[in-house]
Amino acid sequence: MKLLLVAVGQRMPDWAETAFHDYAKRFPPELKVEVKAVKTEPRGSKTLQTLYAAERQRIEAAIPRGTRIVALDERGTSLTTQALAQRLKDWQLSGDDVALVIGGPDGLAPEFKAAAHERVRLSDMTLPHAMARVLLIEQLYRAWSINANHPYHRE
C-alpha cells in the first residue's frame, strides 16, 4: 500500500523537510510514503473559483486512478490517534492506495472536498502549512506503530 501526501505549496522550510523525511523513512517497505507538492496558483487578481479550479486540476493530476482520496478539511471528521490507527488498518486491508490531500492558502475546492471519499481534520486550530505536513506524517507513523505493536506510541 502507498500513502501519498498531496500538498498544495512549494518549498517547505528546512525544519519541516527534515522532520517530514525523518518520519517518512521510518515506515516499513510494505507501507510506502510519498509526497507530491502541487504548485500554488498565483493569487493576483484571480477569483477564488479560478484559484480553486487551477489547484484542483493539479491535485487531481497528481493522484493516480483508483486511489482513495482523503481531504484534509477544517470541517472534516475529528479523529483520535487510535481512530486514525483503525482507519489506517482498514485502508491497508482494502488494498487501495490512499492520497491525503492538504490544500493551499485558501483550502481545497468545495467540489473536490465533496467528491473525496473522506474528509478529516487534523486540529481544531488553524495550522501553518508546514506544520500540517509534519503533524500528518507523525500521526500516520504513530497510527502505524499502534497497529504494529511498536513501542513508539504509549498510553
Please tell me the distance from the alpha carbon of residue 110 to that of residue 113, in angstroms, as a whole number.
5
Residue 63 to residue 61: CA distance in whole angstroms? 6
Q: Strands 68-78, 32-38: parallel, antiparallel or unpaired by DSSP?
A: unpaired
Which has the closest alpha carbon to 100: 133, 78, 77, 131?
A: 133
pLDDT of 21 reads: 94
> Looking at residue 45, what is its pLDDT?
81
Look at residue 55 and give its three-state secondary structure.
helix
Distance CA 132, CA 143 (A): 16
Q: What does the block give as the cell for 145? A: 506503530
pLDDT number for residue 69: 98
Q: Going residue by residue through the chain (155 aa), what tens digit of pLDDT does each one get?
A: 999 999 998 788 999 999 999 999 999 999 999 999 999 988 888 899 999 999 999 999 999 999 999 999 999 999 999 999 999 999 999 989 999 999 988 899 999 999 999 999 999 888 888 999 999 999 999 999 999 998 787 67
Residues in the chain: 155
Buried b vs exposed e over 87-108: b needs ≥16 C-beta within 10 Å? bbeebbeeeebbbbbbbbeebb
Predicted structure pTM score: 0.92
pLDDT given for residue 124 in this prediction: 87
User: What single-letter amino acid sits at 50?
Assistant: T
pLDDT at 127: 86
Contact 144, 27 (CB under 8 A): yes
